[in-house]
Copies of this chain bind each other. A is one copy, B any other.
């Protein structure tokens, strides 16, 4: 059995730090599945625009909530050039030189075309995928979208065919120039993420209790 690999094109092949590139498809899925928001890049009036938004992955497709900008952009055409990036910051890398300071991170950069999901059934599915990425368990627990709500929501879809995955982990690089600087500390300061205590909305009976899919959510 062969493992699925990414098929990088010129633009999805990292030129800087190629040792950080990951070619295995499963690593792309891992980064996308671990994230909560993405940054979607589009071209509006000839200039790039980068907007943070919710997203979700299902198989070889990533879905994102459309902005008013993307809606007006896509009003006149079926799809547009887009770049969807998910980044997870894992730590600050302190070196003995300012130059060698770095970040530990995992990132996925997806290049391709974004199009609006128009088929109603496909749109409901896409919204379920985005909702479950953001709030696992919420799709079945809460009221699903009405026809009016569906009409008020724009969902974009992108294919995962062209993607670059990069991972930097471990400690700082060992620079021969700084071997003698034994009085300067170097290492990694990890970033840790956790869920805080759920805050019940003021219109909800405090006696209701927080459902376990929220109270026991793990990072």
At the interface, yes or no: A82 with Cβ under 8 Å from chain B?
yes
Identify whether the interface residues of A are mostly helix, strand, loop, or mixed. mixed
Q: In chain A, residues 165-219, which have Cβ atoms closer than 8 Å to a Cβ of chain B?
A: 171-172, 174, 177-178, 181-205, 208-211, 214, 217
Chain A contact residues (Cβ within 8 angstroms of B): what range?
35 or more
A61 within 8 A of partner (CB): no
A210-B185 contact, Cβ under 8 Å, with A81-B46, A87-B37, A174-B203 = yes
Q: Which of A20-28, A115-123, A138-146 contacts B (4 or more CB under 8 A)?
A: A138-146
Say whether A127 faces chain B, with CB atoms less than 8 Å apart. yes
Q: Which residue of B lies closest to A204 (CB)?
A: B186
Within the complex, what minimum Cβ distance (angstroms) separates A17 from chain B?
10
Please determine whether A84 and B143 come into contact, CB atoms closer than 8 angstroms: no
Task: Mark contacts of A84-105 with chain B using CB atoms, 8 A cut-off: 1 yes-contact digit, 0 otherwise.
Answer: 1101010110111111010101
Question: Of B11, B128, B142, B217, which contacts A184 at CB under 8 A?
Answer: B142
Which residue of the partner chain B has the closest CB to A67? B16
Complex contact B210–A199 (CB within 8 A): no
* Least distance between A136 CB and chain B CB atoms (Å): 10
- Given A39-B50, A174-B203, check contact A98 B16 (CB 8 Å): no
Q: Mind listing 8 A-B residue pairs with CB under 8 Å?
A: A52-B105, A94-B214, A98-B127, A174-B203, A185-B204, A185-B214, A190-B197, A192-B193
Which residues of A pack against B, CB within 8 Å?
11, 15-16, 36-37, 39-52, 54, 67-69, 81-85, 87, 89, 91-92, 94-99, 101, 103, 105, 107, 109, 111, 127-128, 131, 134-135, 138-139, 141-146, 149, 152-153, 171-172, 174, 177-178, 181-205, 208-211, 214, 217
- The list of the 9 closest CB pairs from A to B, nearest first, reads A190-B196, A41-B48, A41-B50, A52-B87, A39-B39, A99-B149, A47-B81, A15-B68, A50-B85
